[in-house]
Chains A and B, each alone.
Chain A
Amino acid sequence: MSMLAYDGTALLGRQLRRMRNNPGLLILTQTMPISMLLFFGYVFGSALAMPGGQYRSFLVPGLLVATAANGIMTGMFQAAQDTHRGVMDRFRTLPISRAAVPLGQAVADVVVTAAGTVPFLLVGFAVGWRVEGSVLEAVGAVGLLLLFRFATTWVGIFLGLLTRNEEAAGQLGGATFMLPLLSNAYIPTDGLPGWLRTVAEWNPISAVTTALRDLFGNASVPGDAAWPVAHPIAGSLMWCAVLIAVFLPLAVRRYAHGER
C-alpha cells in the first residue's frame, strides 16, 4: 500500500507537470463550462418560462455536473494517448504498483477539476448564482461533485485503455458531450414525455445535479421523480459507488494485463 502511495504520488506529479507543459486540453476543459454558462444562461434563459436569474442559478449546478461527466472524455483521451505513444508500455515494464498509473491519472484529474471549480463558481456568482443553504452543505456539494468526477474518470480510463488509439478516443470522447443533454442538467425533466423522462432521470448526471441544487439550496427536489432523483444524495452515492466498483477494477486489470 505504501508502494502504491509512493508510485501514485510520483505519477500524480507527472500528470500535473504535463498539464502545465501542455495546457491546451486544460484550458479548453476549464473555459468551456464558463462560456456555456454565459451562452445558455442568457440565450436559452431568455426563452424559458423560468426568469433568467433563476435559470442561471438552476444552470450552475447542472453545468458543474455536466463538466464532471467530461471525466469520461479526458480520462479516455489521456489513457489512450499514453498507450498509443508507448509510455504506458514503459510503465508496465517498471517495478511499480500495478494500480499506480491509473490511480495517479484519476487523482490528478480530480485535483484539476477541483481547481477549475473555483473560477467557474466565481463567474456563477457574478451572474447571480448564490449558495442559498448552509456552508457545510455547500462543502458537501463540492465533495459529491469531486466524487462523481473520480467515478467518471475511471470509466474514461478503462475505455481509453480499451481503444488504445488517440484519435478514436478523441472522437468517441466527443460523444460524452451528449450525455448531459438527456438529463436535468440544462432543463427540468418534468416537461419531458413519460419514457424520455424516465431515461433522463435514471441518468446518473440527473441525480448528482439534483443533489447539488439541493445542497446549494438553488432548487427543491422534485418529489414525483424516479428514485435516484427523488432521493438525490443517496442516489448520487449509489451511482458513484456502482461506477467505481465496476470501472476501477476493470481499468486496473486492463492496465496490468495490457493486451496479454
Chain B
Amino acid sequence: MTSTYAVLSEGLKKRFGEVHAVRGLDLAVARGTVCGVLGQNGAGKTTAVRLLTTLLRPDAGSALIAGHDLVREPAAVRRRIGVAGQYASVDGDLTGRENLRLFARLHRVRAPGPRADELLDRFGLAGAAGRPASTYSGGMRRRLDLAASLIRHPDVLFLDEPTTGLDPASRNLIWDAVRELTADGTTVLLTTQYLEEADQLADDIALVDRGRVAHTGSPDEFKALIGAYVEVVVADADVMVRAAGVLDQLTGAQPSFDDARNAVGVVTRDRTLTLPRLVRELDAAGVPLLDASLRPPTLDEAFLRLTENDKERAA
C-alpha cells in the first residue's frame, strides 16, 4: 500500500533513565518534500532521527517509514532509507573510494566500483578518492557521508544537522545536493538549529521543543508567525529606558535588555514597522541612536515568541 506520507509518526516516545528525550512525536512528511525539524540543542532532534532510522527502539508510539512499520519491519525500513549526519559516519581508516565501494557492496549494488566513482565525481571528491577519509576536511567528510547515504537512491533521506560547523562554501554544496535530490523525488527529513537552513530547504518546518513538535507550518507561515526582531543600541542606561518605552508603545510587546551592549530589543509581527519608520519614531521621541536593526529573529527569539503565543492561546 502506498501512502501519501513518506514519514508518518504518532506518539513516539523515548526515555533514557530520568530524561524524557522524546515525549510524543507526531510527524507527517509528504512524499517528495523536505521537512525541516527545527530545534535547539537538547530539544530531542537527534533522538527523533535515531528513532525514525531504527537506531533506537521507541518506548511507545508507532511510525510508518516509506510505508513500512518502524518497529515490526525494521529491515524493510532500512532498505528504503539513507542516513547521514552527526553520528552515522564513514570509516576514517578507509579511503573515500573504499568506503563507498564497501557501502555499495553492502547495499547489494551490482557494480560497486562504478557506482562509487559516480558518487565521488558528483560530490567533487574524485581527486581525494584514494586518501583515507580521516585526512578529509570537515566539509569533504560530510560530502562523503552524504554520498554514502545515497548509494541506493533511498526513498527517504535523514540528515541530522548536515551543515553544523561547516564553512559557507561547504554548506552551499550540501544545500545544492539536497535540492537536487528533491528534484528526483526523494523525501528528505533534516534536522537543524538554523532557521535560515530550514527556510532555504524545507517545504515544511516542524519546530521541536522538549521532545514534542511544538509548531508546524511552511517557512513563510513561520516567519509571519514569529515576526521580526527589532534592536536598537544607545549610549547609556538612561537612554535605554527611554528607547524601551518607545518600542513598547510601537509594538505592544515587552522589550528585553542587553546591559552589556546598551541594547534594547523586541520581537514584533507588525509588518508596518519598517526600519525607516522605527528610526523616525525614535528620533521624534528624542532618543539618540547608535545603531538600529531589523532582522529575522534567531531561533532562541523565535522560540520565546512561539511559547508566548501558546500561553496567549491557553489564556
A residues apposed to B, CB below 8 Å: 7, 10-11, 13-14, 17-18, 21-22, 82, 85-87, 89-96, 257-260
What is the minimal beta-carbon distance from A160 to any residue of chain B, in angstroms? 16
Of the residues A11, A90, A258, A259, contact of B89 by C-beta under 8 Å: A90
Beta-carbon contact of A93 and B90 below 8 Å: no
| Interface bin, chain B | 20 to 34
Beta-carbon contact of B56 and A260 below 8 Å: yes
Beta-carbon contact of A92 and B55 below 8 Å: yes
Of the residues A18, A94, A259, contact of B91 by C-beta under 8 Å: A18
Of the residues A17, A85, A90, A95, contact of B75 by C-beta under 8 Å: A95
**Complex: A21 Cα to B96 Cα, angstroms:** 12
Known contacts: A14-B94, A85-B92. The answer to whether A95 contacts B87 by CB under 8 A is no
What is the minimal beta-carbon distance from B241 to any residue of chain A, in angstroms? 51
Beta-carbon contact of B106 and A96 below 8 Å: yes
B residues apposed to A, CB below 8 Å: 53-57, 75, 78-79, 81, 83, 86-95, 98, 102-103, 105-107, 132, 148
Which 3 pairs show the lowest CB-CB distances between chains A and B?
A86-B89, A18-B93, A260-B57
A-B contact pairs, 7 of them (CB 8 A): A10-B106, A17-B93, A17-B98, A21-B132, A89-B83, A90-B148, A95-B78
Beta-carbon contact of A87 and B55 below 8 Å: no
Beta-carbon contact of A90 and B88 below 8 Å: yes
- Please, which residues of chain A bring their CB within 8 A of the CB of B106? 7, 10-11, 91, 94, 96
- Please, which residues of chain B bring their CB within 8 A of the CB of A21? 93-95, 98, 132
**Complex: A94 Cα to B87 Cα, angstroms:** 14
- Please, which residues of chain A bring their CB within 8 A of the CB of B107? 94-95
Known contacts: A93-B81, A95-B78. The answer to whether A86 contacts B57 by CB under 8 A is no
The main secondary structure of chain A at its interface with chain B is helix
Beta-carbon contact of B56 and A258 below 8 Å: yes
Highest count of chain A CB atoms <10 Å: which of B54, B78, B88: B88
Beta-carbon contact of B53 and A87 below 8 Å: no
**Complex: A85 Cα to B141 Cα, angstroms:** 13
A260's nearest neighbour on chain B, judged by CB, is: B57
A78's nearest neighbour on chain B, judged by CB, is: B93
Beta-carbon contact of B54 and A92 below 8 Å: yes
**Complex: A91 Cα to B54 Cα, angstroms:** 11
Beta-carbon contact of A259 and B56 below 8 Å: yes
Beta-carbon contact of A95 and B79 below 8 Å: yes
Beta-carbon contact of A258 and B55 below 8 Å: yes
- Please, which residues of chain B bring their CB within 8 A of the CB of A92? 54-55
A90's nearest neighbour on chain B, judged by CB, is: B88
What is the minimal beta-carbon distance from A192 to any residue of chain B, in angstroms? 42
Of the residues B57, B88, B105, contact of A93 by C-beta under 8 Å: B88
Can you name 8 extra interface pairs (CB under 8 A) apart from A90-B88, A258-B55? A7-B106, A14-B91, A14-B102, A22-B93, A89-B87, A90-B89, A90-B90, A93-B55
- Please, which residues of chain B bring their CB within 8 A of the CB of A85? 89, 91-92
- Please, which residues of chain A bring their CB within 8 A of the CB of B57? 257, 260
What is the minimal beta-carbon distance from B309 to any residue of chain A, in angstroms? 36
What is the minimal beta-carbon distance from A94 to any residue of chain B, in angstroms? 5
**Complex: A257 Cα to B54 Cα, angstroms:** 9
Beta-carbon contact of B105 and A90 below 8 Å: no
Known contacts: A10-B105, A22-B132, A87-B89. The answer to whether A93 contacts B54 by CB under 8 A is yes
Known contacts: A257-B57, A260-B56. The answer to whether A86 contacts B79 by CB under 8 A is no
Of the residues B88, B89, B94, contact of A17 by C-beta under 8 Å: B94
Highest count of chain B CB atoms <10 Å: which of A10, A86, A89, A95: A95
- Please, which residues of chain B bring their CB within 8 A of the CB of A258? 55-56
What is the minimal beta-carbon distance from B102 to any residue of chain A, in angstroms? 5
